[in-house]
Amino acid sequence: MTRRTIRFAAVGAALALGLTACGGGGDEGDDGATGGGGTVDPDEEITLTVTWWGNDDRADRYNQAIELFNEEYPNITINPNFSAWPDYWTARATEAAGSALPDVMQMDLAYISQFGSRGQLLDLDPYIGGELDVSGMPESLLAAGQLEAGTVGIPQSTNTLALFYNPAVVTQLGIEPPANDLTWDDYDAWITQAAEAGAGLDPVLYGSGDYTGVFWLFIQHLVQEGNEVFTADGEIAFTEDDMKEWLNRTTDLRADGSLFPTERTVQLAPLGGFTVNEVASEFSWDNFLAGYLADSGAESIEMLPMPLGSSGERGMFQKPSMLLSAGSNTEHPEAAAAFIDFITNDPAVGAIFGTSRGVPATESARSELSAEGTDAQVIAYEESVADDITESVPTLPEGFGSIEATWLRLAEELGYGQITVDEFVEQWFAEAESALA
Amino acid sequence: MTPETLAPAKVAAPRPSHQKRRARAAETRAGYGFLTPWLIGFFLLTVGPMAASLYLSFTDYDLFGAPEFIGLENYQNLFDDPRFRQSVVVTVTYVVIGTPIKLAASLAVAMLLNAKRKGLGFYRSAFYAPSLIAASVSVAIVWKAMFIDDGIVDQVLSLFGIRLGGWVGNPDMTMPMFVLLAVWAFGAPMVIFLAGLKQVPQELYEAAEMDGAGKTRKFINITLPMLSPVIFFNLLMETIGAFQIFGSAFIISGGTGGPAGSTLFYTLYLYIRGFTDFKMGYASAMAWLLVIVVGIITVIFFRTSRSWVHYAGDSK
């Protein structure tokens, strides 16, 4: 081996390094304006790519829905594709850079303005009333998919936060389940009680994980207390003190080990303490019920409304979710609109998805939902909290996905005791400033 | 060589004939012709993207809109970013601890396999096998499963009374886990060491034995100096490779660099910045800083190598 050959190899290896980061070309899309609002030509052979995030269960449901769609539109071939939440956004961002987004894609409130305000998403307004019927959807819900650029997403469902508990684990703990009219302090006291009861068991059982690590719960708490979350121009409206107060709710619980340990949570991912039946309760969106039941194998899981705020009100809101958007680069905008219409309104499709994406957004999609089982439980829950849903979901700023991810990461570090609440707040604000800029 | 071919050379003295020059030009063309597929790939897939990323590193680019030129801001922001600093610490720790251990392990195995024994071919293949699959997704998943709570590592250690719990969830134990994964894949440097060992002239050992040198002495005074070019090569390659660790870290931490940032390797953070936070300009700046730093380290290695690497062919 000579000096020359080594030098050669080193240059090669170093060059390989340069490949680690390479963005695509700066293609600028064509402002999303397609106009016209034509209809699908039944004789034209059309292929649409359709993509969503989710698990196998959701993929099965989409595939069934696509089969039904093909009975009505035999000339449209659908290429379905799906991935898990984090990878999903990575792939879409890369496609957006090359103006190669799928014809139809599932979209979330956290990302819609990022894609929509740069002309990456098709304005569906020209198709509304034509191929796309949104008459069965409340205006307030439709508004979630409307930006300055027009209607760039059609909400498929609504979600509401709930406190889930597993009666079997509560029984094992030998304590009463959480009450229906809890305050946050009551809930914290219940967690302490559960942890004391579960400490001697094998495996050790807990009442809850650290719920302050869920960004949406902090938002729920702010809304419930009548605080603004984000300003109209997408800036943060709450203060560092609001955040400290929230995170300090569980400081004592963290200190005496009354919360499900972070190191367990990290290792269980993508499952969690609640789905391996070591935690008795967990806050989440109500459409999680089916997934919880499937993952945990529990016989039943109960749902309670949010704890009461200091005014005695719950101040809950519905979050429009699982929007469907079309890429502005699509060659078949009318076919994309027809597909979105079918998934949004068809009663059989509504029955296929049930409440797995949340409570369906349109009357017709709800019309054939099964009257028992999981779907009925979720619907009954939303009906039971109808009077508590007094607020509307805050408008999420561009970059929300990133600040939510930062929150989650810092919560993990807090759980390991590597940072204090004050450091959490300081670091989060520093990152949020650059993410929302 | 026949007299006929020799003759013209004598006549044509210093300058090659016109014909010959033409023939040589044709050969050159053919050479580049054969290189074309590689060259196209090199310019399209390596040089082009590198130039693009160099430009992007001076811009604010979020993948959705057009890049906006901001000068050196990305590079300046790097130094105020606590996560960037953390990723540097994590990566340097990994390089400094992992690389020497891996090299020592691969040299040790190479020396064992250099001995004359039955079934050596089998052992060589067997020991090389892990390297073929170590960079794969499946091994990262298996690794995670081995080091989790009640995983096989936890269970075996518990038999000896060592109770560490799952390494995957413990920020203090993730680094040893990654170093072990790197060391386990010692095949590539081992094969190179083995080739180097084969080239050490046996006479040297025989002469040393005549002089009464023991095993350690032979190793230090003959094996190591004779192997020094190979050691240098492996050190360089493994160091550059270690800076680029990505796949296993991405899989084991689920793309987050967790728990608590303990596996936030440089390239993983670069990826997070670019594809999760959509800060492609920032990520490009990180990539170029890495290229520059690795370049500097390589130059330093070459400079210092003059004092410790012995090339058998050199007349030094």
Burial of A358 (0-12, 13-18, 19+ CB in 10 A): buried
Please count the structural domains in chain B: 2
3-state helix, strand, coil in chain A (%, to 5): 45, 15, 40
Residue A397 DSSP SS3: coil
- CB distance from B164 to chain A under 8 Å? no
Report pLDDT for B106: 94
Residues B176, B275 within the same domain: yes
CB nearest B260 (choices: A10, A25, A412):
A412
Residue A13: what pLDDT? 55
Query: What pLDDT sits at residue A10?
Result: 57
Whether residues B144 and B191 share a domain: the answer is yes
- pLDDT at B313 > cutoff 70: no
B41 and B143, same domain (yes or no): no
pLDDT of residue A1: 57
Beta-carbon separation of A20 and B148 below 8 A? no
- Read off the pLDDT of each residue in B236-241 and give the average, rounded to a whole number: 94
Structure tokens given for B88: 């540097």
* Maximal C-alpha separation, chain A: 80
Those residues whose C-beta lies under 8 Å from the C-beta of residue A50, and which sit 6 or more positions away, are A62, A66, A78, A79, A80, A81, A102, A103, A104, A105, A339
For the stretch A39-86, pLDDT in tens is 888 889 999 999 999 888 889 999 999 999 999 999 999 999 999 888
Report DSSP state, residue B259: S
B68 lies in some domain: no
pLDDT, tens digit (0-9, with 9 covering 90-100), for A28-47: 333 333 345 778 888 899 99
* pTM score of the predicted model: 0.82
Which residue of chain A comes nearest to B246, CA vs CA?
A20
* Owner of token pair 């969503």: A52
Provide the 8-state DSSP code for A178.
P
Q: In a 3-state reduction of DSSP, which class is residue B66?
A: coil
Does residue B113 sit in the same domain as residue B11?
A: no
**Could you identify the residue written with the tokens 């304590």?**
A175
The pLDDT of residue A176 is: 96
Omega cis (within 30) before A270: yes
Per-residue pLDDT, A301: 96
Residue at B144 is within a domain: yes
Q: Does B229 touch chain A (CB under 8 A)?
A: yes
Instruction: Using CA coordinates, name the residue in chain B closest to A94.
Output: B63
Q: Which of B204, B147, B136, B140 is nearest to B174 (CA)?
A: B147
Judged against a pLDDT cut of 60, whether residue B8 lies above it is answered with no
**Which residue shows structure tokens 């498929």?**
A156
Q: Does B49 touch chain A (CB under 8 A)?
A: yes
Q: Are residues B252 and B279 in the same domain?
A: yes
pLDDT at A318: 92
- Quick check: B294 and A28 CB within 8 A? no
Q: Is A232 on the interface with B (CB under 8 A)?
A: no
Strand partners for A324: A106, A154
The answer on B95 and B30 residing in a single domain is no
Using CA coordinates, name the residue in chain A closest to B66. Answer: A26
B65-84 pLDDT, tens digit per residue, is 889 999 999 999 999 888 99
Per DSSP, the three-state class of A235 is: coil
Nearest to B264 by CA among B92, B108, B128, B122: B92
Claim to verify: residue B83 and residue B21 sit in the same structural domain: no
When scoring A267, A329, A423 by the number of chain B Cβ atoms within 10 A, the one with the most, hence best to mutate, is A267
Tokens for B212, please give them: 């009464």
pLDDT bucket at B3, cuts 50 / 70 / 90: very low
pLDDT score of A402: 86
Beta strands in A229-352 (DSSP E): 281-285, 302-304, 318-321, 323-326
Residue A140 to residue A161: CA distance in whole angstroms: 18
- The parent domain of residue B285 ranges over 74-308
CATH of A160-318+394-436, one of 2.30.110.10, 3.40.190.10, 3.40.50.980, 3.40.50.720: 3.40.190.10
Q: Do B40 and B91 fall within a single domain?
A: no
Residue of B nearest to A400 (CA): B277
Q: What is the pLDDT of residue B314?
A: 56
Does A115 lie at the interface with B, CB-CB under 8 angstroms? yes
pLDDT category at B315 given cuts 50, 70, 90 is: very low
Distance CA A288, CA A257 (A): 27
Residues 6+ apart with CB under 8 A from A372: none
Q: Is residue B152 part of a domain?
A: yes
Q: So what's the pLDDT on residue B127?
A: 87
List, for chain A, all residue ranges whose pLDDT scores fall below the cut of 70.
Answer: 1-36, 437
Cβ distance B240 to A10 less than 8 Å, yes or no, reads yes
Q: Which of B46, B67, B259 sits opposite A263 (nearest CB)?
A: B259
SS3 A53: strand
Mutate to test the interface with A, among B39, B55, B64 (most CBs of A within 10 A): B64
B51 and B80 inside one domain: no
Question: Which residue ranges make up each domain of chain A?
Answer: 46-156+322-367, 160-318+394-436
Question: pLDDT band at B10, cuts 50/70/90?
Answer: very low
Q: Quick one: tokens of A109?
A: 């409130």
Q: How many CB atoms lie within 10 A of CB B306?
A: 9
Nearest to A188 by CA among A239, A246, A240: A246
- Those residues whose C-beta lies under 8 Å from the C-beta of residue A335, and which sit 6 or more positions away, are A40, A46, A48, A73, A76, A103
Sequence-ordered alpha helix ranges (H) in chain B: 3-11, 18-41, 48-56, 73-78, 82-114, 120-133, 137-146, 152-159, 174-184, 187-199, 202-210, 215-218, 224-243, 247-252, 266-271, 280-308
Chain A environment of B295 (Cβ under 8 Å): 14
- Chain A with chain B: Cβ pairs closer than 8 A: 158
Q: A203 preceded by cis ω (within 30°)?
A: yes
DSSP state, B173? T
Q: Do B302 and A409 touch (CB under 8 A)?
A: no
Question: Nearest CA to B84 among B277, B235, B296, B301?
Answer: B277
Q: At a CB cut-off of 8 Å and minimum separation 6, what does B197 contact?
A: B110, B111, B114, B223, B227
**CA–CA separation, B22 and B24 (whole Å):** 5
Residue B66 lies in a domain: no
Q: Does A114 touch chain B (CB under 8 A)?
A: yes
Q: Do A409 and B258 touch (CB under 8 A)?
A: yes
**DSSP strand pairing (A46-53 vs A76-83):** parallel
Query: Touching check for A4 and chain B: CB below 8 Å?
Result: no
What span, in angstroms and rounded, lies between the C-alpha atoms of B156 and B163?
Answer: 10
Q: Given an 8 Å threshold on Cβ–Cβ distance, is A15 in contact with B243?
A: no
Strands A146-147 and A104-107 turn out to be unpaired
Interface test with B, best of A5, A6, A434 (most B CBs within 10 A): A6
Give the one of A6, A21, A86 whose C-beta lies nearest to B232's C-beta: A6
Give the span between the Cα atoms of B193 and B189, in whole angstroms: 6
Share of chain B above pLDDT 70, in %: 93
Residue B289 lies in a domain: yes
Do B81 and B21 share a structural domain? Answer: no
> What pLDDT, on a 0 to 100 scale, did the predictor assign at position B14?
56
Q: Is the CB of B297 inside 8 Å of chain A's CB atoms?
A: no
Asked if B308 contacts B228 with a C-beta cutoff of 8 angstroms, the reply is yes
Sign of CA dihedral A368, A374, A378, A381: positive
In a domain, B89, yes or no: yes
> pLDDT tens, B186-202?
888 999 999 999 989 98
The Cα of A424 is separated from the nearest Cα of chain B by a number of Å equal to: 12
Decide the pairing of beta strands A104-107 and A46-53: parallel
Q: Any CB–CB contact under 8 A between B233 and chain A?
A: yes
Identify the pLDDT of residue B20.
Answer: 81
Q: Output the pLDDT for position A36.
A: 53
Token pair of A149 as six digits: 């650029």
The DSSP result for B122-137, as a single string, is HHHHHHHHHHHHTTSH
A419: closest chain B residue by CA: B260
Contact list, B311 vs chain A (CB under 8 Å): 2-3
Is the same domain home to B281 and B235? yes
| Nearest CA among A432, A52, A6, A405 for reference residue A230 | A432
Do B78 and B44 lie in a common domain? no
Q: Mean pLDDT over all residues of chain B?
A: 88
Distance from CA of A99 to the nearest CA of B (A): 9
Q: Which A residues 360-419 touch B at CB under 8 Å?
A: 402, 405, 409, 412-413, 416, 418
Residue B113 belongs to some domain of the structure: yes
* Secondary structure (3-state) at A145: helix
pLDDT at A18: 41
> Cβ of A308: how many Cβ atoms within 10 Å?
19
The residue among A176, A119, A105 whose CA lies nearest residue A147 is A119
> Does A113 contact B at CB distance below 8 Å?
no
Tell me if B61 is assigned to some domain: no
CB neighbour list of residue B103: distance below 8 Å, 6 or more residues apart:
B189, B231, B234, B235, B238
Inter-residue contact A49 to A14 (CB < 8 Å): no
Quote the pLDDT of residue A30.
38
Shortest Cα distance, chain B CAs vs residue A91, angstroms: 8
* 266-305 of A, contacting B, C-beta below 8 A: 266-267, 269-270
Residue A20 near chain B (CB below 8 Å): yes
User: Looking at the domain that runs over A46-156+322-367, which CATH code has it been given?
Assistant: 3.40.190.10
For residue range B103-112, what is the model confidence (pLDDT) as tens digits? 999 999 999 9
How many C-beta atoms lie closer than 10 Å to residue A25's C-beta?
11
